Amino acid sequence: MSTASGSKLYENTEPETKPTNVSDEELQDFKNKVNEWVKIDEQIRKLQIAIKERRVHKRVLGTQIQEFMTKNGYDNLNTHQGIIKSNIKEVQIPVRMPEVKLKLATICEEKAEFKDVFDKIFNSDRQVVTKSTLRRIVPKVNALSI
């Protein structure tokens, strides 16, 4: 299936059940919306790559700036764009699920008691929500097949 701009739209991968009450105008409008959605998705992908590159560069510069500030005793830098503050503190690492299980197991002497406590905390009456997503799956190009 081709559009006026020359880019291709992929056919439906689900079993073919073509609605009979869709006019050609509605179908063309739908195709235009899909084509626009794909273009916007592609732009977002390119922008995300650019953002990722800039974050890496910013992290490297930030580390160098903070090392200089710490070494020379600066806590704040006044710039035309605002104040840059350097703060170093010690924090506890986040608790992970395997650690919680291990500590619960050591606290509760009996295995049955551990299972009951664990189920009460993590498995009982958890709310279920429905999430809807729409995403584009871009086929990966294998460099060896070129």
pLDDT in tens, 40-62: 999 999 999 999 999 999 999 99
Where does residue 65 rank: exposed (0-12), middle (13-18), buried (19+ CB within 10 A)?
Answer: middle
Residue 121 reports pLDDT greater than 80: no
**Which pLDDT score, from 0 to 100, does residue 107 have?**
74
Residues 6 or more apart whose CB falls under 8 angstroms from that of 7 comprise 35, 38
Q: Where are the chain's structural domains?
A: 1-13+20-87, 92-124
**Which pLDDT score, from 0 to 100, does residue 1 have?**
44
Residue 5 reports pLDDT greater than 60: no
Give the mean model confidence (pLDDT) for residues 71-89: 87
Cβ–Cβ < 8 Å for 84, 65: yes
**Which pLDDT score, from 0 to 100, does residue 4 have?**
45
**Which pLDDT score, from 0 to 100, does residue 42 have?**
94
pTM: 0.56
**Mean residue pLDDT across the chain:** 80
40, two tokens: 């916007």
Cβ–Cβ < 8 Å for 7, 34: no
Give the mean model confidence (pLDDT) for residues 58-74: 91
Residue 15 reports pLDDT greater than 60: no
SS3 state of residue 2: strand
